Amino acid sequence: MASLGSSSAALAAGFEEVYEATWLSWLSSVRVAGEPLLRSRAALAFAWSLAAALVLVVLSALGARRPSLRPRGLQTLLELLVGALRTLVLSITGPEGLGYVPFVGSLFIYIFLMNLFGLVPGFMAPTSNLTITAALALVVFLVVQGCGFRRYGVGYLGYFVEGVPLRPAYLPLLPFVFCIHLIGELCRPVTLSLRLFGNMMAEHAVVFILLGLAAGLARRYWVFLPVQLPNLLLGMVVAFAQALVFSTLATVYLGGVLGHGERREAAGDSAPQKALAG
């Protein structure tokens, strides 16, 4: 048991060391007003998220540098990606969600790129830090709520009491339904951030463990087996899947708000919704 505990402690220490030893870790030695520029792993993850944003801007500029009616190279890839994302958004939200295709598309590509960073030696996946995933989830939450209030004004509060019948006997349920729906809305950014963080952290932890196993076999038997390679390939699938899940859920949340008007018209504007709309 003692050896198992020491091995676990050594593994955890090694995992921490790997996360600190990245190509941007040198920024921790830079001081601004006497304080280090990077003071925590969250700050390091933020630096890598800025690097991912810079890469995204460069790729977008290169792809749109010489647009052609017969796309080639990077322009072809970007047009295929934009077309697929546009189809995804419109299939969930309908034509009203066309204006949110750039937001969802940028979100997907940005998260996918940050996920892939964790598979490159010397890089760090910003999405393996809860601070970054929480910030992304908060952005989605603010965009969704902003969409509702901009589209419906105060009447958007009726979205939180949908389903309450017109009959006066059910009106006492109004505060209860409102609170339940409000709690559900507030839980969405929590689940979004934890899902992305947990999956990416677990995936990188497995890669690190397999790398340690391969190194141990090489030291003991002088044979190096790349046991981590299958998981690296699986990591690419996980990176894509998690970015797709995050952006799809953001689209679903937007679709729920955008479809509120149609549901309200179909229901004939129930009494609670009229009261909240003023």
pLDDT tens figures, 75-88: 888 888 889 999 99
Instruction: List pLDDT tens digits, range 103-134.
Output: 999 999 999 999 999 888 788 889 999 999 99
What does the alpha-carbon distance between residue 33 and residue 250 come to, in Å, rounded to a whole number? 40
d(CA 165, CA 197): 40
pTM of structure = 0.81
Task: Name the CA radius of gyration of the chain, rounded.
Answer: 24
Provide the residue count of the chain: 278
pLDDT per residue as tens digits for the range 21-64: 677 776 777 777 667 767 778 888 898 999 999 999 998 888 77
Q: What is the dihedral of CA 164, 167, 171, 173, to 10 degrees?
A: -50
Phi and psi at 91, nearest 5°, equal -70, -25
Distance CA 246, CA 198 (A): 13
Query: Which of 194-208, 221-235, 242-256 is predicted least confidently?
Result: 221-235
Strand, coil or helix: what is 116? helix
Give CA separation, 72 vs 58, 66, 69, 78, in Å: 17, 10, 9, 10
Q: So where are the chain's domains?
A: 41-277
